Amino acid sequence: MEPILLIVFLPLLAAIIGGLGNRALGNVPVKLLTTGALFAACALSWPIFLSFVGGHAVPQVVPVLHWVQSGSLAFEWALRVDTLTAVMLVVVTTVSALVHLYSWGYMAEDPDQPRFFAYLSLFTFAMLMLVTADNLVQMFFGWEGVGLASYLLIGFWFKKPSANAAAIKAFVVNRVGDLGFMLGIFGTYLVFNTVSIPEILVRAPSMAGSTIGFLGMQWDTMTILCILLFIGAMGKSAQLGLHTWLPDAMEGPTPVSALIHAATMVTAGVFMVCRLSPMFEVSPVAMGVVTAVGAATLFFAATIGTTQWDIKRVIAYSTCSQLGYMFVAAGVGAPGAAMFHLFTHAFFKALLFLGAGSVIHAMHHEQDMRYYGGLRKHIPLTFWAMTIGTLAITGVGVVGVFGFAGFYSKDAVLEAAFGAHTGIGTFGFWMGLFAALLTSFYSWRLVFLTFFGKPRWDQSEHIQHSMHDDHHGHHAEHDDGTAGYHPHESPLSMLIPLGTLSLGAVIAGFLFHHEFISAGTGHFWQGSVAFSEELVHHMHAVPTWVKWAPFGVMITGLAAAWYAYIRNPGLPAKVVAAIKPIHTFVYNKWYFDELYNLIFVRPAFWLGDKFWKIGDIAIIDRFGPNGSAWAVLQGSRIAARLQTGYLYSYALVMLLGLTAAISWVLVH
């Protein structure tokens, strides 16, 4: 059997057995089954990826079954394995396997563990279907599959109203993006008369300059198709305008955050744009839109990350910002750099999310960083893991020597934006550079507030309440103002994934940057993305100050965070007071939720209320079921009056009827 078949279908098999067996099988068998399936898929994925790195593999398509035949529309369910797929296979299976293992400890006290692990495996299967798709319909199948699974996972704790609201929000916002994606698929089939991705990419250049009718006007064919497809990517990858679901998705368990927001669902949009990069290359306008939206998103999300107190929300907005970097790279014609940042981001962002989960686990599910402080002495392994993740996301490294994962990939994105020598590329570069400054600031702010300074646990009502019902037995008397509470390090099942991801965050960029973005990279990609050697040379030929600028802003952000939260802890409050209107605006997420509530949600509820009360109750019910019931009732009352039960009454009626019949016959 082909390894790719096992990689894709083992998680599905585990999800089906674990989900249907549920409590009948028990917690441990379901966890063993799902976790084992994912580690097996991961073990099979890495040799495929390394074979492409070594230049020994060639792209292949593995047919599964004949799927659809309807007129001229015909395609198989087939699994495509090329360099782009190989990258996604190791990202998805590695992070998912580690999240499964991590969840053994994090979800140990949850009564619905079999359902949770089945959902995780189902999510992984849907993402694997997406990245192995050989046609657009198959990609859409996986696309909607991760949407469904994310709804189930975000709302896993369905007894919490906030979790239900977050799940519905994620589902609805993604449906908006999916409408654009569907229109893009329909239009692509209309133009190319096929949904086969290889055929579309081969024929895309021939459509340059052609037009197509849409909304009553003529548009450049590839521009309108690519923008519609990109709207789908905006929803899945939480780009500005369709981003509002991402922070609220933190209502799900922390392992869900790591899986959805580090390696799978949110990267689906980036993958789709990179997979279809030959299409986008035909339309400079569409490429400009991708770059502009990515640049705006990375700046917007980074500003919000500097003001949030919830540890998971800070990392969530960081994800949103990092996805913006990927779209900037894809938009300037460097999908290889976009995929490189996606690859490294999976390691350090999953590390940060799972590290945050370890902190939350230690602090009895308190997520407000204002009630942390001084934790590095109590949870040292988590501290070092989070520090490594922060070193990676902020891009710590020395040019030409060594750097953490983000040093290579984020710098490559900025160099590609500058080296594109376009106005929109330059805009993306400067926005990315400023966002890198903010990223360094809010990332180190998180570390300093959480692990340094004096403990502030006694100020948390949540922790004080938990101390009276401590399931872990970590009470002790201290002289540091901790009121007898002792944060505890996470179990081994949570620490092993942290250690593994830490290793990836340290060496992933150093080991693989040559294959992803160096000269001769076209041999590595083998045409699976449109990454020109010319742009690669421009990236390496940028001025020296461009190469050192990210290092400079990283140091500046680190110094600012250290001074504000270690050296002079009273400074942030003074700055907030001095710029209160700006801080309020940014802290409230630029009021996007309030704006959408005003122009979309409230009018929709008002319209729905009117349709219900006027259309449904006053018209349909009144003249439909209620009206017919009233007519039957009145008719039955009249009929009842005729049924007197007296013989002479019936004889009179018969006589009148007989007289009427004879009269009618005589007249006619």
Predicted confidence (pLDDT) per residue in 436-448, tens digit = 999 999 999 999 9
Separation CA 454–CA 424 (nearest Å)? 46
CA torsion angle for 648, 651, 653, 659 (degrees, to 10)?
A: -140
Residue 481: pLDDT above 60?
Answer: no
Question: Are the C-beta atoms of 320 and 235 separated by less than 8 Å?
Answer: no
Separation CA 428–CA 416 (nearest Å)? 10
Per-residue pLDDT averaged across 104-110, rounded?
Answer: 87
* Angle between helical axes of 113-131 and 3-25 (0-180°, round to 10): 160
Separation CA 436–CA 249 (nearest Å)? 24
Tokens coding 301: 């999300």
Q: What is the largest CA-CA distance in the chain?
A: 119
Query: Number of C-alpha atoms within 13 angstroms, CB side, residue 34?
Result: 36
Looking at every residue in the chain, the average pLDDT score rounds to: 88
pLDDT at 1: 63
pLDDT, one tens digit per residue, over 152-192 is 999 888 888 888 999 999 899 999 999 999 999 999 999 99
Model confidence at 497, in pLDDT bands (50, 70, 90)?
very high
> CA nearest 516: which of 400, 412, 414?
412
Measure Cα distances from 583 to 431, 538, 556, 576, 593 in Å.
20, 39, 20, 6, 17
Per-residue pLDDT averaged across 607-627, rounded?
Answer: 82
Tokens coding 192: 């190319």
Model confidence at 479, in pLDDT bands (50, 70, 90)?
very low
Measure Cα distances from 162 to 116, 169, 331 in Å.
18, 10, 36
Separation CA 650–CA 184 (nearest Å)? 74
Eight-state DSSP code of residue 81: E
pLDDT at 296: 95
Coil vs helix vs strand at 231 = helix
Among 63-72, 287-296, 330-339, the least confident range: 63-72
DSSP H or E stretch at residue 572: helix 571-578
> CA nearest 108: which of 549, 493, 392?
493
pLDDT at 140: 94
Model confidence at 460, in pLDDT bands (50, 70, 90)?
low
Separation CA 624–CA 280 (nearest Å)? 53
Question: Are the C-beta atoms of 177 and 236 separated by less than 8 Å?
Answer: yes
